[in-house]
Amino acid sequence: MSNSLATFLPLVLIVLVFWFLVIRPTRRRQQQMSSVQSSLGPGSKVMLSSGIFGTVVSVADESVRLEIAPGTTVKVARQAVVRVVEDPTPELPGEGPDEGPHDGPGETDGGPYPTSGPTGTAGGQ
């Protein structure tokens, strides 16, 4: 009796580990995605799986119409919507309140990339 239990115990442990590491997180992610996609309505600001941000204009059974720029709407599959966002325009790196759009390494800030060397090259020769 104990020999047969010892034989099946590793198999049961493998199945449990597989369940907790693969199946359970996948199921939870699918439930979150379906709840996001079912809660879509006109005026919702969303992000698509491709990274495009837009505002929902209308919702159909299988598709969603998004306004991605003033006067520009696109029709996308409902499954392309991955999340609802608060601010559709994320802050780009280098364009924060302390930095201007042209302040980057190698410009006039003494960054790691010299603009010119003694002979016009970074290595000097």
pLDDT at 58: 92
Ranges under pLDDT 50 in the chain? 88, 106
**pTM value?**
0.51
pLDDT at 36: 82
pLDDT at 88: 42
pLDDT at 3: 77
Q: How far is CA 87 from CA 55, 59, 84, 105, in A?
A: 10, 20, 9, 28
Q: Which domains does the chain have, with CATH numbers?
A: 2-84 (2.30.30)
The whole-angstrom distance between residue 85's C-alpha and the CA centroid of its chain comes to 11
Query: Residue 124 corresponds to which tokens in the numbers above?
Result: 């000097």
